[in-house]
Amino acid sequence: MSHLSRLLFVATTLLASSPVYPNNGDVTAPADRAYRHGVIFTADTQHSSAQAIAIRAGSIIYVGTDAGLARWIGPSTELVNLHGRFVMPGIVDAHMHPLQAGAQLLKCSLDYAALTVPELQARIRSCLEQSANKGANDWLEVVGWFQESMRPAGVTTSRATLDALDTARPIIVRSSFGHTVLANSRALADAQITAATPDPIGGKIWRDPNGNPTGLLEDAAFDVFDTLLPKPTAADNAAAARAALRAMNAQGVTSFFDAIAPEEDIAAFTALHQSGELTARAHFAPPIEPSQANDPVGAVARVVALAQHYNDGAIVPAPGITVRNAKLFLDGVIAAPALTGAMREPYRTNTGTVQQPNWVAGKSRGPDVYFSPQALATLLVALGKAGIDPHLHADGDGALHAGLDGVAALRKALPDADIRPAIAHNEIVDPIDYPRFRALGVVPVLSFQWEKPAGDTLGLTNYFGPERMQRLEPAGVLASAGARIAFGSDWPVDTLDEWFALKVGVTRTNAPDAPPEYRGRLGSDPGLSSRAVLEAATINAAYALHADAVTGSLEVGKFADLIVLDRNPLTIAAEDIANVQVLETLVGGKVVFTSRWDG
């Protein structure tokens, strides 16, 4: 099959495929399962609410009043009394890294804690002691390092931090943001990273005044470790996928989007699908690396080949596998000390001392956007022709602006194509770009939990200055400009706590027990309403994944992906949304999680 034929085949399959609804026969046949006496948030376009819902063969056959439910109840119907509890569509998490997250649940983790250097060393020393049976050549991989909240603020780390530990083993510590690694001297030596090693495309090696690597590596600079660490087996990946699914179902996640999915990620969840263990709808975005920019045909062909091999085709009630997206990184992260987000205006710099700082406009705007304008436009148009939705990472406003320009080229080339580009993160947006999301049909996928005072956000104060700090994390402003906001947790960049994230999306405040310096609201953005955050995590996210025809809202004909909660997020105090407990999770009408309750 020629390259063009392959593209047309996949585009036809992905764009024209439609959901397969079960043949229920007689429309008055009894439901398999029904809920009554509840408060049902449908997330439909009419903002409807209901008391009861009925399910047959994995799909919704009735949504309405308790009285109207009676005709759907038969002798074999499992009838659940909600006793006034809240039902809503299952969470559609539109940006996470589930296999990595599941693997981290099984690794040495710093658990996102705010640590001093001695505390960090003590935690890693404990992991070394727990794996004392390992040899001098066995790697220790540490995860969950919240680098931006190291204490005291501004403290630095280097390979010396890890070299002080009494071990000959190579050690790497992965930042929870996923863009920084700290390596000890042994790890650097094994990776052959020296003063003579050039910065790779899309990466940075931090260096001391003599040009020697400090041990801190950004983005592509630490890819070399993936070739040195023991490669997980298929069994390891399956265990990680199972752990991720258990965690997601308990949080009420019924669909997830793997926002950077190499083939081993897709294969791991496909294996569970084939064994009947897949308990959430799985969507995957294979990556296109900056190094592939000079071969756009080959880059898109690789994504197309994965789609042909793994994509299930039409979506059915039982959870399955979808591959109709591609991931492109446009920059790194705005968070200090990395400052690898591509900015339109320079980061500020301290020309004074630590004791007497003098912050002024600097010269660095961070790295260049990882793809040139022409390369990005070419790739996006080629993806569009193949029926593949692009999912772009853009943290800084310079990367975001470049991403929108690339989508503009896509829209000009393919004005009638149903392509749904998404840009993830959007942590700082130039005001000139606020209306472009709606105009270009771009979905901003936001991680609401970042929209609070914390080490990663307030740590930017000196680097950004007061004006940019006020418009950091602009969810409310983007919504007011007509953008269709979707939610993505970015797990394991943060712990999987969907309800805390949704609470922050409304309040823009940290947890009540946060340190005093992290109290109050972040910036001047108004935030979102409780309804808006629920819609962002349901119907809007489903739209971004091209799945809104079958999920994301509770409507007759859609699949029965729903969750039962212990309280009503629309009526409780916004701060209390963080305390929501999921009582039951259904995917395609099948219970995949339940806790003790009197339903």
pLDDT in tens, 216-227: 999 889 999 999
Query: Which CATH architecture group holds 16-90+562-569+577-594?
Result: Roll (2.30)
Residues of the chain with CATH 3.10.310.70: 104-228
The answer to whether residue 497 scores a pLDDT higher than 60 is: yes
Question: Which residues have C-beta within 8 Å of that of residue 315, sequence separation ≥ 6?
Answer: 17, 19, 20, 281, 322, 547, 550, 551, 559
Domain 104-228 has CATH 3.10.310.70: yes
The answer to whether residue 597 scores a pLDDT higher than 70 is: yes
pLDDT score, position 193 = 97
Structure tokens at 261: 């999915």
Q: Is 181 helix (H, G, I), strand (E, B) or coil?
A: strand
- The answer to whether the beta carbons of residues 40 and 87 sit under 8 Å apart is yes
β pairing state of 33-36 and 78-81: parallel
pLDDT score, position 219 = 87
pLDDT digit string (tens) for 365-421? 999 999 999 999 999 999 999 999 999 999 999 999 999 999 999 999 999 999 999
The answer to whether residue 26 scores a pLDDT higher than 60 is: no
β pairing state of 180-183 and 203-207: unpaired
Percent of the chain at pLDDT above 90? 84
Question: Which residues have C-beta within 8 Å of that of residue 573, sequence separation ≥ 6?
Answer: none
Average pLDDT over residues 106-133: 92
d(CA 387, CA 10): 7
Query: Bridge-partner residues for 204, per DSSP?
Result: 218
More confident call, 2 vs 306 = 306
d(CA 444, CA 424): 6
Residues of the chain with CATH 2.30.40.10: 16-90+562-569+577-594
pLDDT score, position 27 = 55
Average pLDDT over residues 554-564: 98
Tracing tokens 């990882």 back to the chain, one arrives at 370
More confident call, 296 vs 16 = 296
Model confidence band, residue 16 (pLDDT cutoffs 50, 70, 90): very low
Average pLDDT over residues 5-26: 44
Average pLDDT, the chain: 93
Please state the φ and ψ torsions of residue 349, each to the nearest 5 degrees. -135, 150
- The answer to whether the beta carbons of residues 514 and 491 sit under 8 Å apart is no
Give the largest CA-CA distance in the chain: 80
d(CA 533, CA 289): 32
Q: How far, rounded to the nearest angstrom, does the alpha carbon of residue 121 sit from its chain's CA centroid?
A: 29
Q: How far, rounded to the nearest angstrom, does the alpha carbon of residue 485 sit from its chain's CA centroid?
A: 14
Model confidence band, residue 252 (pLDDT cutoffs 50, 70, 90): very high
pLDDT score, position 336 = 84
Which amino acid, one-letter code, is at 290? Answer: P
